[in-house]
Amino acid sequence: MRRGARLPATPPRRKRDDSVGIAIVGLGGYALNQIMPRIDQAERAHIAALVSGNPEKLAQVGDAYGVPPDARYSYADFDKIAADDRIQAVYIILPTAFHADFTIRAFAAGKHVLCEKPMALSSAECEAMIAAGRRAKRTLMIAYRCHFEPYNLEAMRLMREKAVGTIRLIRTDQSYRAGPTTPAQNWRFNRALAGGGPLEDYGIYGLQSALYLSGEMPDSISATTFQPKGDPRFTEIFAHVGSQLTFPSGAVAQLATAYDSAGANFAQVRGTDGTLIMDPATGYAGQKMRIDGRGARDFTPGDPNVQFAGQLNHFTNAIRDGTAILTGGEMGLRDLRLIEAIYASARTGRTVKLMPDGRMRG
């Protein structure tokens, strides 16, 4: 197993009798270091099973989290979870290419699904996932954690209340410079597994920010992509994606994302009366936010770390209480339609006109 993985010294315990048993599907770095250590912070969630293609990792992680050997599944025997009543839901933390298949199989097994973003590689896959959930009468949620993070929640509230006046411009940049790698070494650089590159991975945070800070859907998109020649990192994916979204109100959003530029993670909203600045904007921790101009001040609305438990609480409350899902499959589908429009604009060199649900016109 990869060095540095976070494993508990003692297995966490269930807090409540109505806790939802979750099967973690995929034991990569994000699952081991971000999600699984925080599941015991949620009120109604516990790890009931594990799914991995690595038997050694499955045994080591299973022992650390107190998951019984008969609740440790391989990808090949995943469908057997249908008979395991300890599992009510699955959390899919796999490369994007596998999201649709495992979501549909989980619904066929009668389980609820929390799926990492992006939802899938295409809008058609998203539609199939949504249809499978409806047939199974089970919950589908996409893991857009920033909707449960205090700084981003406060920013949404401030923009609804016009704290910077009427929005004129939104700028986001989510970028970093990747070290030496190849598509065979890192799935995020493999088009078949990840899609076009940084836009689906890091840049989706900027796309989301533009939508939830503006409170609008764009009516047109123009975009460019860059894929350097001779760089083994970018034989299959783009190094940089830039796009401009125009909204019905007249506001404009300029989005940048890259795997080959100095690190950035910010969102800025310029209005008629001031500017909201979030830098860093969407990380696991360390957020900072201020307003310049009218009503200038800094904001410290809470600990960003609660976003993970908040996301899980939202999911489990929907399962147990029937509450509405905020970040459901329709949101994931919307974002894939916009990503497809960005790539279509970059490919054709033309502005793409959009319908209100994100589909391309014509």
Q: Tell me, yes or no, if 117 is annotated catalytic.
A: yes
Residue type present at position 362:
G
* DSSP one-letter code for 17: T
* DSSP one-letter code for 269: E
Helix axis angle for 329-348 and 123-136, nearest 10°, is 170
Closest C-alpha among 122, 139, 121 to residue 130: 139
Among residues 117, 144, 259, 343, the one annotated as catalytic is 117
What is the C-alpha separation between 131 and 101, in angstroms, rounded?
A: 13
Alpha helices (H) along 215-328:
306-321
| Helix (H) or strand (E) segment spanning residue 302 | none
What is the C-alpha separation between 190 and 234, in angstroms, rounded?
A: 9
| Helix (H) or strand (E) segment spanning residue 336 | helix 329-348
Query: Taking CA 223 as the corner, what is the angle to CA 222 and CA 226, rounded to the nearest 5 degrees?
Result: 165
What is the C-alpha separation between 88 and 90, in angstroms, rounded?
A: 7
**SS3 state of residue 226:** strand
What is the C-alpha separation between 290 and 274, in angstroms, rounded?
A: 10
Instruction: Count how many Cα atoms sit within 13 Å of the Cα of residue 303 in the half-sphere of its side chain.
Output: 5
Among residues 65, 73, 205, 212, the one annotated as catalytic is 205
Query: Taking CA 265 as the corner, what is the angle to CA 196 and CA 92, rounded to the nearest 5 degrees?
Result: 55
What is the C-alpha separation between 332 and 347, in angstroms, rounded?
A: 23
Closest C-alpha among 201, 150, 192 to residue 309: 150
Strands 72-73 and 89-92: unpaired
Closest C-alpha among 71, 132, 74 to residue 100: 132
Q: Tell me, yes or no, if 57 is annotated catalytic.
A: no
What is the C-alpha separation between 202 and 283, in angstroms, rounded?
A: 10
* DSSP one-letter code for 308: H
Which sequence positions are flagged as catalytic?
Answer: 117, 205
